[in-house]
Amino acid sequence: MNHTNLLSKESSPYLLQHAHNPVNWYAWNDDTLALAKKENKLILVSIGYSACHWCHVMEHESFEDEHVAAIMNQHFINIKVDREERPDIDMVYMGAVQLMTGQGGWPLNCFALPDGRPIYGGTYFPKQQWVNVLENLADLFKTNPDKAYEYAAHLTDGLEQLEIPKAHDGQSFEMTTLHKSVYKWKQSFDTEWGGPNRAPKFPLPNNYLFLLNYQVYESDLQIKKQLDLTLTKMAWGGIYDQIGGGFARYSTDTFWKVPHFEKMLYDNAQLVSLYTQAYKQSGNELYKKVVHETIAFVTRELTNKQFGFYSALDADSEGVEGKYYVWQKEELQHLLKDDFELFADYYCVNEVGYWEDENYVLMRDTEDSVIALQYHISIDELQRKMQACKTLLLSIREKRVKPGLDNKVLASWNGLMCKALAEAYLVFDNSEFKTLALANAVYLLNNYCRDNGQLLRVMNDHTSISGFLEDYAFVIDAFLSVYVITANETWLIKAKELADYTLRYFYVPSQSTYFFTDSSQEKLVVRKAEWSDNVIPASGSQMAINLYKLSIYFDDTNYRQISESLLKSTIKEIENYGPGYSNWALLLLHYLKPQTEVVIVGKSVNEKLLALYKQTPPNVIFALSDTASDLPLLKNRYVEGQTFIYVCRNNSCLLPTESAEEALKQIEEGTT
C-alpha cells in the first residue's frame, strides 16, 4: 500500500526518506507540539540522519511495517527530526536517554509528555521489543499518567544540571594540567594500530591536533611516534577511501579496516586540517597525499554549483552497506590485467583485506619501498602504476549506483571545510585551495549571514533554520582563516560582528556560560550548553578560542576575560579526561606558551605569509594588510612600495624587517 505523510513537504533528505512510511510522521514545529497537547498524546521524538546505517535498519523493520505503524499512529504523535538540521533538539533528548540508559547513539527514540518533557527512550530497538515499548508506554499514560509526569519532572531537573561546569574564579593556568592530562591519555594508546585501544575507532581529529601541538612544544617522542602511527594506519586503512579519497565516519574494528561506509563532511574537513598541520611539522608525503585526495573527493562529490558543501554520503547503495566501495578479486583481475598482482599486494587483495561475501576492502599494510624492492621497480614507478590503477578503478566505480547524498548545506560544517582549505593553501601553496575557500566563504556570507549579525544554519528554498552556537563558532573560525589568506579586513570585521551577536544572545555572564541556542529563538524544555569536545569540538570551546584570537586582533580585554573565564571552568575536566576536552586543551596551550603576532604590511603580503607560515609554531597569529589600516596591530605601519614584517609579543614589537628569514629568527628566539 502506498502512503504519504507530512514529511513529504520537508527538504531534509533524512525526513524525505520517511515521507512514504505508513507512520503518520510529523515535523518538529509549533503546530505539531500544539496537536500533542490538544489530543493529550505522548510524543515520540525519533532522531537520526540520512547516512545513519541503523536508522535505515529500524525504518525497514518497524516504520515500514503496517502493524507497528498502526500502534504508533493510535497512541502517539510521531515526530521525525534530522539531528543535523536540529542539533538543539537532539542534544536535549540525547541527554535524557543518556541519563536513563548510560549510553546514546542514533537512531535516537525518546518518548515525551505532550509538553515535550522526556519520560523514556533508547536507540535502536528490534521490531518486537519496539512493539512492547509502544504498548507499555501507551498503557502507562492511559492508566497512570501521574507516574509519567512525576518521572518527567525528575528527569528534566537532571537535564538542567547536565554538563554545566561550575566556574572556578581562582583557577590558574599551568602546564602541570596538560602534563597530567597527557599522562592519563597515554594509558589508552593503541601502540600497534594507533588511535585508542578499543573498537569502534573514531578518527577524532581534534584530539590529534592537540597532541600534535603539545608535541611541538614539549618534544615528547612517545606522542610523536603515536601520532605518526595513528595518521599512517588511518591513511592505510579501509576507513580511508583508497580509490577516491576521503574518510568514512569510523572503523568497526581496532585496525581501521572495515568502516561503516558513510562519509561525513565534518570528518573530512577536520582530517584535512589535521593532516595539513601534521605535514607542516613532519614533511611526510603520505599526509600531503591524503590532503590532496580528500579535497579532491569533497570537490568532486560534496560541492554544489555555488561552492557550498553538502553534508554526507550514505553507507549504503542498492540497499547494501559498502557496495559502492568494495571490490571482488575477479573484477579487479579483469580490469587491471598485468598490473593486478602488484595492485593486490599493494592494496591487500588477500586475507588481510578480505571482508565478507567475496568482497575486499582496499587497504595497505606495507611501505612503498618494500613493495618496490619486491617487484624490482623504483618507488616513482610503483606510485605511477598505482595512480594509473586508481584512476581506472575510480572511472569504473563512478558508473556504479552511488550512495545517497545528503545535500543539506550546514553553516557549521561548511565553516570547518572552509578553514581546512585555507590552511591547506598556506601549507601547500595550491591556489585552487585558496580559490575554493574564498568561494565558500562568499557563499556563506551572501546566503547565511544577516545584516544584524545573525547567522542561519540551513538555507534553501523550503527551509530556513537559525544558527546554533556551533554555526557561529566554526563560521567565525573560517572567516578568521579567510582573512589571513586574503588580507581582506572584511572577513575579520564580519567575524567580530558574529562574535558580538553570540555574546548578546548565547552567552550568560552570570553563569559564565555559552548556551547552544539563541535566547531570541524557540525555547525547548531545557536550554543546553555544550562543553565537552566530541567528533566535532564543542561550540563553547571553539568560541573561547575565537574570542582569544579576536582579543588580540582588536585589543579587546572583554573578549579575553570571557575566554579565560570559560577556560577556567574546564581546567579540572582537561586534567581528568583530555580526549573529551582537547579543544579546551589547545586553548590552554595558547595561554601557556609564548604568544607571537606576526604583522605583515605592504605590497608583497601573500608572498611573505607563505614563506613564514610553513615554518612557524602553532601559537603564531598573523595580521596582514596590503593597504593602510586602523586595526590596533596594523595602525601606522604601512609604507608605500615596501613590505615590512613585525614580530610582536606582549603588546610590543621588535624592529621591522623585510626579510622572512630574519623574521623567522625573531620568532624562534621568542618561542625557545
User: Which letter, b or e, does each residue of 180-217 get, where b requires 16 or more Cβ atoms within 10 Å of its Cβ?
Assistant: ebbeebeeebbeebbbbeeeebebbbbbbbbbbbbbbb
Cα(655)–Cα(332) distance, integer angstroms: 62
Residue 166 in domain: no
Interior CA angle at 428 toward 422 and 305, to 5°?
50
Q: How many CA atoms lie within 13 A of 377 on its CB side?
A: 14
In 108-233, beta strands by DSSP E: 108-112, 118-122
Q: Is pLDDT of 165 > 80?
A: no
Report yes or no on 170 lying in a domain: no
Q: What is the mean pLDDT of residues 591-617?
A: 94
Among candidates 486, 406, 408, which has minimal Cα distance to 441?
A: 486
In tens, the pLDDT along 220-256 reads 999 999 999 999 999 999 999 999 999 999 999 999 9
Q: Is the pLDDT of residue 163 over 60?
A: no
**6 DSSP 8-state letter:** G
Helices (H), 219-308: 221-236, 265-282, 285-301
Residue after which a domain boundary falls, among 399, 416, 431: 399
Question: With bands split at pLDDT 50, 70 and 90, how would you rate the model's confidence at 1?
Answer: low
What pLDDT does residue 372 have? 97
Q: Any idea what the CATH number is for the domain that residue 48 is in? A: 3.40.30.10
Judged on CB neighbours under 10 Å (0-12, 13-18, 19+), 510 is: exposed
Query: Which residue among 531, 559, 592 closes a domain?
Result: 592
Examine residue 168 and state whether it is found in any structural domain, yes or no.
no
Tell me the per-residue pLDDT of 203-215, one tens digit each, with 9 for 90 and over. Answer: 999 999 999 999 9
* Domain end (from 592, 617, 646): 592
Segment 175-193 mean pLDDT: 97
Strand-pairing partners, residue 77, are: 43
Please tell me the predicted confidence (pLDDT) of residue 143.
95
332 residue type, one letter: L
Statement to judge: residues 548 and 428 lie in one domain: yes
Cell of 636: 601606522
Whole-angstrom Cα distance, residue 493 to residue 419?
17
* Residue 672 reports pLDDT greater than 60: no
Per DSSP, what are the bridge partners of residue 529?
Answer: 515
Label residues 565-587 b or e (16+ Cβ within 10 Å = b).
Answer: bbbbbbbebbbeebbbbbbbbbb
Residues 600 and 588 in one domain: no
Question: Are 422 and 297 part of one and the same domain?
Answer: yes
Q: Is residue 627 part of a domain?
A: yes
Mean pLDDT of 427-438: 98
Q: How confident is the model at residue 325 (pLDDT cuts 50, 70, 90)?
A: very high
Is residue 541 a contact partner of residue 583, using CB atoms and an 8 Å limit? yes
> Is there a single domain that holds both residue 642 and residue 561?
no
Return the C-alpha cell found at 94.
540525547
Q: Judge whether 468 lies within some domain.
A: yes
User: Is 469:515 a contact under the CB 8 Å cutoff?
Assistant: yes
Provide the domain limits for residue 636. Answer: 596-671
- At residue 556, does pLDDT exceed 90? yes
Q: Are residues 434 and 486 in the same domain?
A: yes
Say what the alpha-carbon torsion angle 120, 126, 129, 133 is, to the nearest 10 degrees.
Answer: 30
Angle at 284 between CA 281 and CA 290, to 5 degrees: 105
> What's the mean pLDDT in 76-87?
96
Q: What is the CA radius of gyration of the chain?
A: 26
Q: Which of 22, 8, 33 is nearest to 525 (CA)?
A: 33
Whether residue 107 is preceded by a cis peptide bond, meaning omega within 30 degrees of 0, is yes
Q: In angstroms, how far is the first alpha carbon of the chain from the final one? A: 73
Residue 52 has which C-alpha cell?
A: 545513519
Which residue matches cell numbers 572584511?
490
Residue 70 amino acid letter = A
CB 454 within 8 Å of CB 467: yes
Q: Which residues of 340-376 are buried (b: 16+ CB within 10 A; e: fewer)?
A: bebbbbbbbbeeebeeeeebbbbbbbeebeebbeeee
Residue 1 lies in a domain: no
The number of domains in the chain is: 4
Please give the average per-residue pLDDT across 9-17, as a whole number.
93
d(CA 80, CA 312): 19
Rounded CA-CA distance 241/349 in Å is 15
Listed residue (20, 618, 644) closest to 280, CA to CA: 618
496 lies in the same domain as 600: no
Average pLDDT over residues 318-332: 95
Same domain, 314 and 277: yes
What is the chain's mean pLDDT, rounded?
95
Do 610 and 474 fall within a single domain? no
Q: Are strands 259-260 and 320-321 parallel, antiparallel or unpaired?
A: unpaired
Q: Are 515 and 596 in contact (CB under 8 A)?
A: no
348 within some domain: yes
Please check whether residue 195 is in contact with residue 201, taking contact to mean a CB–CB distance below 8 angstroms.
Answer: yes
Residue type, 579: P
- CA torsion angle 91 590 247 187 (round to 10): -90
**Over pLDDT 70: what percentage of the chain?**
98
Instruction: Check residue 165 and report its DSSP letter.
Output: P
Query: Does one domain contain both 588 and 575?
Result: yes
Residue 216 sits in a domain whose CATH number is 1.50.10.10
Q: Do 156 and 272 share a domain, yes or no?
A: no
Asked if 571 and 529 count as a contact pair (C-beta separation under 8 A), the reply is no
pLDDT digits (tens, 9 = 90+) for 494-546: 999 999 999 999 999 988 899 999 999 989 999 999 999 999 999 999 999 99
Q: CA 589, CA 176: separation in Å to the nearest integer?
A: 11
Q: What is the mean pLDDT of residues 5-29?
A: 95
Angle between helices 605-613 and 469-486 (to 10 degrees): 110
User: Do 584 and 604 have their domain in common?
Assistant: no
Beta-bridged to residue 76, according to DSSP, are 42
pLDDT band at 460 (very low <50, low <70, confident <90, very high): confident
For the beta carbon of residue 652, count every other beta carbon within 10 angstroms.
6
Instruction: Report CA dihedral (515, 517, 521, 527) to the nearest 10 degrees.
Output: -70
Say how many C-beta atoms besides its own lie within 10 A of residue 395's C-beta: 9
* Span 348-377, average pLDDT: 97
For Cα atoms 544, 437, 441, give the angle at the middle one, nearest 5 degrees.
65
Q: Which helix (H) or strand (E) holds 573?
A: helix 571-576
Is 429 in the same domain as 463?
A: yes
pLDDT greater than 80 at residue 32: yes
Q: What is the pLDDT of residue 159?
A: 84
Q: Which residue has the cell 629568527?
A: 665
Please report how many Cα atoms fall inside a 13 Å half-sphere around the Cα of residue 302, on the Cβ side: 33
Residue 169 belongs to some domain of the structure: no
- List the grid coordinates of 394: 575510480
